[in-house]
């Protein structure tokens, strides 16, 4: 059996998939050829966002349990920001790059591309940042 491709999925994509079952985010997360990855920090952020938006917490928990590989940082956020802060425009997103590297993903899926220094990430880590729709196009073309 072919192993699933790990892809880091930003929190905005997870929330979008919970809000709509017809969008690109939903299709990315539910693609059987992929293994979505989030960090433990992302999961904590997601629990706050679903509460604020009035999304059912059980729906998030069920989705994460069924589909995601949640990876722990195993270091301090301060250390992660020192190590990966130069790859993001918001230091609080440094954990995303750290976990994407730890999970050996080749893709980071996000609607917030402006939060990342795309060229530097591609150059240093060979990691592609794509929106969900662009990622689906990439999958169809490969």
Contact 108, 8 (CB under 8 A): yes
Please state, in angstroms and rounded to a whole number, the distance separating the CA atoms of residues 98 and 101: 5
Reported as a single tens digit per residue, the pLDDT across 20-43 is 999 999 999 999 999 999 999 999
DSSP class per residue in 77-108: HHHHHHHHGGGBSSGGGHHHHHHHHHTT-SEE
Reported as a single tens digit per residue, the pLDDT across 54-110 is 999 999 999 999 999 999 988 999 999 999 999 999 999 999 999 999 999 999 999
- Kindly report whether the global pTM for this prediction surpasses the value 0.85: yes
- Indicate the Cα dihedral angle 121, 139, 68, 85, nearest 10°: 10
The full set of domains in the chain, from first to last, is: 5-133 (3.40.50.1010)
């Amino acid at each position: 059996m072919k192993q699933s491709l790990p892809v880091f999925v930003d929190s905005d994509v997870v929330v979008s998939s919970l809000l709509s079952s017809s969008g690109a985010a939903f299709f990315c997360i539910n693609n059987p050829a992929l293994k979505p990855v989030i960090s433990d920090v992302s999961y904590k952020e997601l629990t706050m966002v679903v509460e604020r938006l009035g999304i059912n917490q059980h729906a998030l928990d069920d989705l994460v349990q069924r589909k995601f590989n949640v990876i722990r940082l195993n270091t301090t956020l301060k250390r992660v920001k020192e190590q990966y802060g130069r790859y993001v425009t918001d230091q609080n997103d440094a954990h995303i790059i750290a976990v994407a590297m730890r999970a050996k993903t080749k893709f980071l899926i996000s609607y917030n591309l402006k939060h990342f220094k795309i060229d530097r990430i591609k150059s240093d880590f060979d990691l592609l940042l794509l929106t969900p729709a662009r990622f689906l196009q990439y999958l169809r073309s490969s």
